[in-house]
Amino acid sequence: MSKLTLGSYPHMLGFEQLERLLERSAKSGNEGYPPYNIEQTSETSYRITLAVAGFAEADLSITVEDRQLVIRGRQSDDSEGRVFLHRGIAARQFQRMFVLAEGVEVGEAVMENGLLHVDLSRAVPQSVVQTINIRKG
């Protein structure tokens, strides 16, 4: 059985990049930490919210790499010299990736009550009608 690709469909021209984005998104993993929400805040804007309790702003980094929003967290281990009778809160690191569509831009990021909010906006493309002249051959 052969793998169906977007290139297999003759009416789907130029969608190879979309196929690569879908494959990259599927490979990005389904790890559950940290939990997050994605909400649509208007017709052209979105908000990603990650639960990052225990992380300071300096522990987090947000980058856009090749149309992927990458959010990383790395807590410093400050347990030196401390004796834990029980340690249920582990210092963890994480990396969350979100594939961005063409035209989606990352706005501001706000830390509030242990939640990291990252705002995204999508430019509305102008509707363009193009007439192609037919020349005699």
The model's pLDDT over 28-43, given as tens digits with 9 standing for 90+, comes to 555 688 999 999 999 9
Contact by Cβ (8 Å): 107, 122: no
Q: 107: domain CATH number?
A: 2.60.40.790
Written as tens digits, the pLDDT of the chain (137 aa) is: 556 666 666 666 676 766 776 676 666 555 688 999 999 999 999 999 999 988 999 999 999 998 899 999 998 777 788 898 988 876 789 999 998 988 999 999 999 999 999 999 998 878 889 999 999 97
Q: Is residue 110 part of a domain?
A: yes
Full domain range(s) for residue 84: 9-122
Q: Is residue 134 part of a domain?
A: no
Number of domains in the chain: 1
Q: Is residue 21 part of a domain?
A: yes
Quickly count helices (H) and strands (E) in the chain: 1, 7
Distance CA 88, CA 107 (A): 35
Q: Is residue 62 part of a domain?
A: yes
Q: Is residue 131 part of a domain?
A: no
Q: Is residue 69 part of a domain?
A: yes
Q: Is residue 127 part of a domain?
A: no
Burial of 62 from C-beta contacts in 10 A (0-12 / 13-18 / 19+): middle
